Amino acid sequence: MADPLDYLRGFAVTFKKLFEDRVTGDYRGGKAKQGAPDEKRPKPERFHGRHVLNRYEDGMEKCIGCELCAGVCPAKCIYVRGADNDPDDPTSPGERFGYVYEINYLRCIHCDLCVEACPTQAITESKLFEFSFTNRNDAIYTKNELVVGDDGMPQKMPWEDWREGEDQLTSGWMRATSPAGDHRYEGTVHWAGELGYGVRAPEVGQSSPLAVRADDGGSGAEAPSDSNEDSHE
Amino acid sequence: MILGLDPLYGGDFLGDLGVTLLKVVVAFVFLLISVMLMVWFERKLISDMQNRIGPSIAGPWGILQTLADGIKLFFKEDLVPDNADRFAFKLAPYLSLVPAFLVFSVVPLGGDFNGSDGDGVVTLFGHDTFLQVADPPMGILFFLAMSSIAIYGVMLAGWGSGSKYPLLGSVRASAQMVSYEAALGLAIAAVVLQTGSLSTHDMVIDQAAPGFSLGSFGIPNWNIIVTGFVPFVVFLIAGTAELNRPPFDLVEAEQELVGGFHTEYSSIRFALFFLAEFMNTITMSAVIVTLFLGGPAGPALFLPEGWWIGTIWFFLKLFIFLFMFVWFRATLPRFRYDQLMDLGWKLLIPLSLAWFLMLAGLRVGDAEDWGTAKTYGFVLGFMAFCGLMATLLMAAINSARSERLAAMEDSHG
């Protein structure tokens, strides 16, 4: 038999909550009238949001059209077709580039397996999840929409709710223990430089990318393709 | 006089009609607006109790949220399921809404009960009247009758939907409301015994009378004190069950029955159920205030005289109960069906019945001049008798249960 006073203690708990701080913010999805509050909560470092397709510091696209992301996708929401680069005017530094790249956000479950599979760190996830589209065409993001602009920032669709500072560092943090699939880089930052930002600083517990590069003898831009070849042998 | 004890009637016909219509319209509009505010208040308060913000966009502090929801519901498609019994399905929302409105007509909303004459009569446009829509001689019975009719709304909604979840919900609802109606009635009987009248106006006048006083500090003659608190608690619990509000909301237990009896309802018919539900909360609070807390008759204290003082007191007390109902909802988890029936039949009904008998005995003692010793002897003896009976009953129930369990174990090997 429970102590009858416990019922009253429950009432005291709910009454005390009246005077506590609110855990929710005044979020209005960017549709607030002028002057009305519209807060977003800060998101975690490794938040899985809308994807971006990154570019190297020299403006080349990182995607090589290998379709590993499409292969690993459990929701089958990614469609990629590769094509040979024009030798005179290459789109990516390798032999091939992704000339079709589509993600269907009606299917995407934001599991980030594509990001882990990508050998060139071309696809990463930003922290944006407030992009409620209103028709099925908008739901399918094409390569033109996914690839970062010339300033290294993601492109902003009209239905997306980007706020100040949210378009920074959208290439995300390194998620796999051994990025680019190379066991030698386990626990080590091995992050290619990217347009607008350069090479990402290491996370807590990771060694500096510069130290590895000294071992490896490679440069930032070449490193991914080198290690990729190693792992395929 | 069928129409009531109101001093209004008997004057010129057109004047009486005008004043009555005015009162009806005011009560109607007041109830609609207060439902709107109540829904908002409940959502806001329960958000506060759950560390949330709650509605905040429509109007200042989201106060127009209910209006926005209402407009949305009006423009939704009105569906009648194929299997529905169309007549019952369409009738049901009105059966729950109309009684909710009607009950409010017997509640005294104001009037000067503490003043020198203290009969609660106000003068509207030269007509003496009470600040309540009607004061029929059977007053509080009207409340019981209307709350019984409201059960038909829930029952017909479940039956008429032609769907299993609403049916389950309405079966639960009728069982629950019928069994708690008994406790509700017995709690009211204690008040009626005290007042000696069924008229709500008479009840307020009775409670406005000077009560027992400790030196210069007078305790109000409210029924919550005079009837010894137990009928009040019983009424509050049974009233919550009657309203199908948490923790007794297993009529529409979302996790078990989708939406309960109103699962198949949409658009304006759903809005009517919703309106009725919250209107019932307000009228039930108003009835509790009238029955147990003196209605518009506040403690005289330092306040000036005037009919509006009564109204202020009434709203203050009403607000306490509205807050309480929301507080219940925020705090108490839902009862299981057997717990609900146990509480109703094994605790509330015997308790309120015994208490009613004891109050009746005390009144008999008062009338027969038994004196203090004999009266207290009677009370103690009666309580001992009730305790003995309760113990015997519990022993019987427990032994029956253990025998049943033993039999089950035997049959299972």
Query: Tell me, what's the pLDDT at B83?
Result: 85
Asked whether the beta carbons of residue A26 and residue B53 sit closer than 8 angstroms, the reply is yes
Which of B42, B48, B343 is best to mutate for the A interface (most A CBs within 10 A)? B48
Q: Which residue of A has its CA nearest to B323?
A: A15
Q: Tell me the C-alpha to C-alpha distance, in Å, between residue B172 and each of A31, A200, B337.
A: 43, 63, 8
* Amino acid identity for residue B373 in this structure: A
Sort B59 into a burial class: Cβ within 10 Å, 0-12 / 13-18 / 19+: middle
Query: Tell me, what's the pLDDT at A185?
Result: 65
Q: Which residue of B has its CA nearest to A38?
A: B57
Inform me whether the C-beta atom of residue A23 falls under 8 Å from chain B C-beta atoms.
yes
Task: Please report the ipTM that was assigned to this predicted complex.
Answer: 0.73
Asked whether the beta carbons of residue A25 and residue B49 sit closer than 8 angstroms, the reply is no
Q: Please determine, for residue A1, whether its predicted confidence score (pLDDT) is greater than 60.
A: no
What is the helix, strand, coil percentage profile of chain A, to 5?
25, 15, 65
Q: How far apart are CA B282 and CA B267, in angstroms?
A: 23
Tens digits of residue pLDDT in B4-50: 556 666 667 777 788 888 888 988 898 889 999 999 999 999 998 98
Name which of A7, A11, A23 is nearest B51 (Cβ-Cβ).
A23
Which of B42, B45, B53, B65 is best to mutate for the A interface (most A CBs within 10 A)? B53
Inform me whether the C-beta atom of residue A41 falls under 8 Å from chain B C-beta atoms.
no
Q: How far apart are CA B310 and CA B230, in angstroms?
A: 26
Interface size A-B, in CB pairs within 8 Å, comes to 33
Given the DSSP bridges, would you call strands A96-104 and A140-141 parallel, antiparallel or unpaired? antiparallel
B86 to chain A, closest Cα gap in Å: 37
Write down the CATH number for the domain with range A51-175: 3.30.70.3270
| B108 closest CA partner among B301, B317, B305 | B317
Those residues with Cβ within 8 angstroms of residue B113's Cβ, 6 or more apart along the chain or in another chain:
B119, B120, B204, B205, B208, B294, B295, B296, B297, B310
Q: Please determine, for residue B408, whether its predicted confidence score (pLDDT) is greater than 90.
A: no
Q: Which residue of B has its CA nearest to A13?
A: B331
Q: Please determine, for residue B165, whether its predicted confidence score (pLDDT) is greater than 50.
A: yes
Asked whether the beta carbons of residue A11 and residue B327 sit closer than 8 angstroms, the reply is yes
Inform me whether the C-beta atom of residue A11 falls under 8 Å from chain B C-beta atoms.
yes
| DSSP 3-state of B272 | helix
**A74/A177: higher pLDDT:** A74
Query: Band of the pLDDT at A219, cuts 50, 70, 90?
Result: very low
The distance in angstroms from the start CA to the end CA of chain A is: 70
CA dihedral for A20, A23, A25, A26, sign (positive or negative): negative
Inform me whether the C-beta atom of residue A6 falls under 8 Å from chain B C-beta atoms.
no
Query: Tell me, what's the pLDDT at B40?
Result: 92
Q: Please determine, for residue A227, whether its predicted confidence score (pLDDT) is greater than 50.
A: no
- In this prediction, residues B135-164 reach a mean pLDDT of 86
Tell me the chain A residues in contact with residue B331 when contact means C-beta distances shorter than 8 Å: 10-11, 13-14
- In this prediction, residues B373-390 reach a mean pLDDT of 85
Tell me the chain A residues in contact with residue B56 when contact means C-beta distances shorter than 8 Å: 26
Q: Please determine, for residue A106, whether its predicted confidence score (pLDDT) is greater than 60.
A: yes
Lowest mean pLDDT among A116-130, A169-183, B338-352, B399-413: A169-183
Tell me the chain B residues in contact with residue A10 when contact means C-beta distances shorter than 8 Å: 331-332
The distance in angstroms from the start CA to the end CA of chain B is: 71
CB atoms within 10 A of CB B61: 14
Tell me the chain A residues in contact with residue B332 when contact means C-beta distances shorter than 8 Å: 7, 10
Q: Is the peptide bond before B136 cis (omega within 30 degrees of 0)?
A: no
Tens digits of residue pLDDT in B188-198: 998 898 888 88
**A7/B55: higher pLDDT:** B55
Tens digits of residue pLDDT in A183-213: 666 666 667 778 877 777 766 666 665 555 4
CB burial of A48-58 (b: ≥16 within 10 Å; e: otherwise) equals: bbbbbbbbbbe
Tell me the chain B residues in contact with residue A13 when contact means C-beta distances shorter than 8 Å: 331
